[in-house]
Amino acid sequence: MKKILLLLCGVFTISIQAQYCQKETAIIKAELAKLVNQLREEKGATPLAFHPILAKAAAHHSKYMSSTNSLTHTESEVGYKTPFDRVHTFKGKDFISVGENVLYITVVTKNNKKAQLKAVAKQMFENWKDSPGHYANMVNPEYEFGDFGFEYNLKQKILFATQVFATKGVTIPGQLSDDDFGLTKASDDCKEAIGNLGNLVLNMGNSLRIEGRDVVLYYHSKEYFKEIIKNPQDGLAVDLLKRDQFACGAKNQLDVSPVHDGILLPPVYKEELWTHNTAESDYRVIVKLGTIPENLNVADYTPALILIKDGQACSEIYQAEVPSDEYSLRPVVAVTKDEPSVALRKEGIIQSQIINYDFNANQTKPIHIPKIAKVVTPIHSIAIQAYSSVEGDSIHNIQLQNARAAYIQKQLQKILDLKNVPFNIEAKEHWDLMDFQLNYFDRQSLLKVSHDSLKQVLANRDQNFPWDSLLFVQRKATAVVHYKGNLDTFDPYNFETLATQNFRTAVATQNVALANKTLYHMYTDSILYNKNVLFEPQVMPFVKAHKELVTNFSANLTESWNEYEIIRYMNHWLSFSETLTTDQKHNILQLYSLVCHRLLNNWDVAAERLAKVIHPSKIEPLIYEGISDELMLNLHLSFLKYYGQINDREGINKSFDFIVNYFKARTLAPEDDNALVLFFNNWSSYNATNSYLLEKYQKELLDEDGLFIFIQTLNFSNESIPDLSMYEVHQKAISKNKERWCQWLQKDFQTLRNENIKQLYCETCSL
């Protein structure tokens, strides 16, 4: 991909003749060329050779500036808009990199002596040399050719001058098309079309993967992708490059094409991109962009990306390391409540057997008769939970659920010795599960209708939605057989067994105080108990029926990993947020931040649906006055990940700002600064990183990691900062850790497109 390097403008006033002939401008040109080439040789760059095409482009532009009385690098006519356009319009098709310096001088006297003309050239040279952008062009070792053009504006008494720099390309063998598949180069590198999406476009370069011989794009946001690829002639193309195109001891071997630098694969346009998007998530894009030809060794090539807007190729986006990280959740201790007057017991339920039953619609006999283990230990009690799915007539459903419970009870009585064993039977329509399922599948409109109205929806249900499977789950029934014993027959020091026994006993006997006491010990004593006991089928209904258990139960859930059941639990209490105490809200909010983080770190379709149940807007009613900064931070860290997954910009900005302000107020050491800017980069705020670290760099406050974050972010974002010498930043990085710097550029070899950096690399890192 061909480029125009940094260009700036200079203005000054000098005494000179008011008319010019070709001989006189030739003197100025020759003197300027001599001074520029002397400077280049001092800096280790080869002298520039004149070239007639560059002279024509420079003369044309000086004439344009004179006619418009403006100092600019841009012209209005198609084919002449940029320096690159002008060189190519004058048939300089083999030039691949183009730079340009411009200035004007104001005439105040007349003097055509040769010495005076050389003085003019000297003043032009010094003016350009004192400007970082002009200076960079003059000493850029990448350039091989340079030429000048001058135009005098008689009315304004102003002489306009232009110097054009350029490098010729080569023809990379193995091309798949003789005309770049019909692509042409966009005159402004699509800056106007890309607008403020620049950082998001940059991220595409690092989103490419080679899988076998396929080049696949994994892009994080379908919404942003739609904004970037908007029109039918918008698309993407892959450019394959080899490391040896940037070898030391030779100029970079970039293809002469204005569109690409290596081997161009066929472009893929909007319709095909969307047709072949294989991402299961509604928010992602995963699409194959091309296949590496069989005659090429895959291991030799690295893909770069070319964005296409309205059928024209924009700047090439190549892979480059940009360090990033996210903040981890802050440690927040859950609140717990002891029951000091309650003691744990040695007698009670020492184990439980859980038996599951599946029922088809309108059936009272299960699909399969489950096996029931015969245990010699005496039975304490049995809990049966039988349900009907919510569709159909409620009176009929009551008959169904009661008949299912009776069937289960009768089966147990046949197999087990149940003389004098109490049964605790719960039979009902499964509306609480229906509520969770509607949240899970984001059917918010149906959550607002009455039960009778929803039954009408189910009577005429859409077969494209998995209603039948949801209703099948609602009909699942369980029986829990509790066995009693005395822990004197067990290890008296096995507190795990003691805690589990007491908790099961408390639930079975509806002893809220004992349950709270056990939950308190489970959390505060850091017992490595079997956490599955929290999710046994008889537990959640008991906790939901006794709000006073929420504080301690939620505390224990923060150390558990059953996201599905935890979210069902939170979903229930979100409906009763106004009744919860501050301590209960505190623990549920911390539980939310932990579970949300785990879900979003392992995002898939199931996680996406679970996360819909706990959208930040649903959690916000739990936020209470006086909430700690650390817990609020954890919530915003979770909100930010959530909003990032669903591409909610307003939500992202709100949480992002809170997090930044929190950590900015607490940055005390360089590692704090580094963590903050890594967070910026994680959210593509590269300008924020560059701005924040620039001040530290200028005050020499960056440690090694901070310096490398700074230079790698500048390199990736391609941001130009006035009065900052990238060459000097690289030199400082080398002084900090030469080996680290060499390893970075060995990996990100396309950074060597910059001849100054390449020269430094070859001098520093070559064996």
The C-alpha atoms of residue 458 and residue 471 are separated, in whole angstroms, by 10
Q: Cα dist. 282→277, 286, 534, 604 in Å? A: 11, 11, 33, 10
Q: Where are the alpha helices (DSSP H) in 525-581?
A: 539-545, 550-557, 563-574
DSSP 228-241: HS-STT-EEEEEEE
The C-alpha atoms of residue 215 and residue 210 are separated, in whole angstroms, by 5
406: how many CB neighbours lie within 10 A of its CB?
15
The C-alpha atoms of residue 257 and residue 95 are separated, in whole angstroms, by 9
The C-alpha atoms of residue 475 and residue 390 are separated, in whole angstroms, by 9
Q: Which residues contact 99 (CB under 8 A, 6 or more apart)?
A: 4, 5, 6, 7, 83, 137, 140, 143, 164, 165, 166
φ/ψ bin of 193: left (φ > 0), alpha (ψ from -120 to 50), beta (otherwise): alpha
Structure tokens at 116: 């005076």
Structure tokens at 664: 């900015």
The C-alpha atoms of residue 605 and residue 609 are separated, in whole angstroms, by 6
Place of tokens 């607008």: 195
> Which residue spans within 255-413 are E strands per DSSP?
263-264, 268-269, 285-291, 301-309, 312-318, 347-357, 379-388
- Measuring CA to CA, which residue among 546, 527, 551, 516 is closest to residue 339? 516
Banded model confidence at residue 146, pLDDT cuts 50, 70, 90: very high
The C-alpha atoms of residue 150 and residue 29 are separated, in whole angstroms, by 9
Q: Which of 22-26, 385-389, 494-498, 614-618 has the highest mean pLDDT?
A: 385-389
**How do 95-107 and 158-168 pair as beta strands?**
antiparallel
* Domains parsed from the chain with CATH numbers: 22-168 (3.40.33.10), 180-318 (no CATH), 347-547 (3.30.1330.60)
Contact 449, 407 (CB under 8 A): no
Structure tokens at 754: 């910059």
Contact 311, 183 (CB under 8 A): yes
Banded model confidence at residue 12, pLDDT cuts 50, 70, 90: very low
The whole-number average pLDDT for the span 570-575 is: 90
Is residue 385 predicted with pLDDT exceeding 70?
yes
User: Which pLDDT score is estimated for 14?
Assistant: 45
The whole-number average pLDDT for the span 74-94 is: 91
The whole-number average pLDDT for the span 245-260 is: 90
Contact 482, 352 (CB under 8 A): yes
pLDDT higher for 24 or 496?
24
**Mean pLDDT, all residues of the chain:** 89
486: how many CB neighbours lie within 10 A of its CB?
12
The C-alpha atoms of residue 203 and residue 324 are separated, in whole angstroms, by 12
The whole-number average pLDDT for the span 16-30 is: 75
The whole-number average pLDDT for the span 640-656 is: 89
The whole-number average pLDDT for the span 660-683 is: 94
CA atoms within 13 A on the CB side of 761: 23
User: Which pLDDT score is estimated for 107?
Assistant: 60
The C-alpha atoms of residue 684 and residue 324 are separated, in whole angstroms, by 9
Percentage of the chain surpassing pLDDT 90?
67
Contact 750, 304 (CB under 8 A): yes
User: Which pLDDT score is estimated for 11?
Assistant: 45
Place of tokens 């537990």: 539
Banded model confidence at residue 721, pLDDT cuts 50, 70, 90: confident
Report pLDDT digits (tens) over 104-143.
Answer: 987 655 555 788 888 889 999 999 999 888 998 999 988 9
Indicate if the alpha-carbon torsion angle 30, 32, 35, 38 is positive or negative: negative
User: Which pLDDT score is estimated for 585?
Assistant: 97
User: Which pLDDT score is estimated for 7?
Assistant: 43
The C-alpha atoms of residue 669 and residue 552 are separated, in whole angstroms, by 38
The C-alpha atoms of residue 418 and residue 631 are separated, in whole angstroms, by 50
Report pLDDT digits (tens) over 730-741.
Answer: 999 999 999 999
User: Which pLDDT score is estimated for 467?
Assistant: 94
Report pLDDT digits (tens) over 327-355.
Answer: 999 999 999 999 999 998 888 998 899 99
Q: What's the gap between Cα 103 and its chain centre?
A: 43
Contact 9, 62 (CB under 8 A): no
Report pLDDT digits (tens) over 265-322.
Answer: 999 999 999 999 998 877 789 999 999 999 999 999 999 999 999 999 998 898 999 9
Banded model confidence at residue 716, pLDDT cuts 50, 70, 90: very high
The C-alpha atoms of residue 568 and residue 453 are separated, in whole angstroms, by 23
φ/ψ bin of 293: left (φ > 0), alpha (ψ from -120 to 50), beta (otherwise): beta
DSSP 593-623: HHHHHHHHHT-SHHHHHHHHHT-HHHHGGG-
Place of tokens 């919510």: 390
Q: Which residues contact 277 (CB under 8 A, 6 or more apart)?
A: 222, 285, 286, 287
Buried/exposed 416-444: b ≥16 CB within 10 Å, e otherwise:
bebeebeebbbbebbebbbbbbbbbbeee
Report pLDDT digits (tens) over 66-81.
Answer: 999 999 999 999 889 9
Report pLDDT digits (tens) over 415-447.
Answer: 998 989 999 999 999 999 999 899 888 888 898
The C-alpha atoms of residue 37 and residue 254 are separated, in whole angstroms, by 24
User: Which pLDDT score is estimated for 481?
Assistant: 95
Is residue 527 predicted with pLDDT exceeding 70?
no
Indicate if the alpha-carbon torsion angle 756, 759, 762, 764 is positive or negative: negative
Indicate if the alpha-carbon torsion angle 485, 486, 489, 491 is positive or negative: positive
Identify any residues that bridge with 486 across adjacent strands, giving them in sequence order.
Answer: 347
Look up residue 280 and give its amino acid: E
Report pLDDT digits (tens) over 174-215.
Answer: 999 999 999 998 877 687 778 888 888 999 999 999 999 999
User: Which pLDDT score is estimated for 551?
Assistant: 97
- Measuring CA to CA, which residue among 443, 371, 352 is closest to residue 411? 371
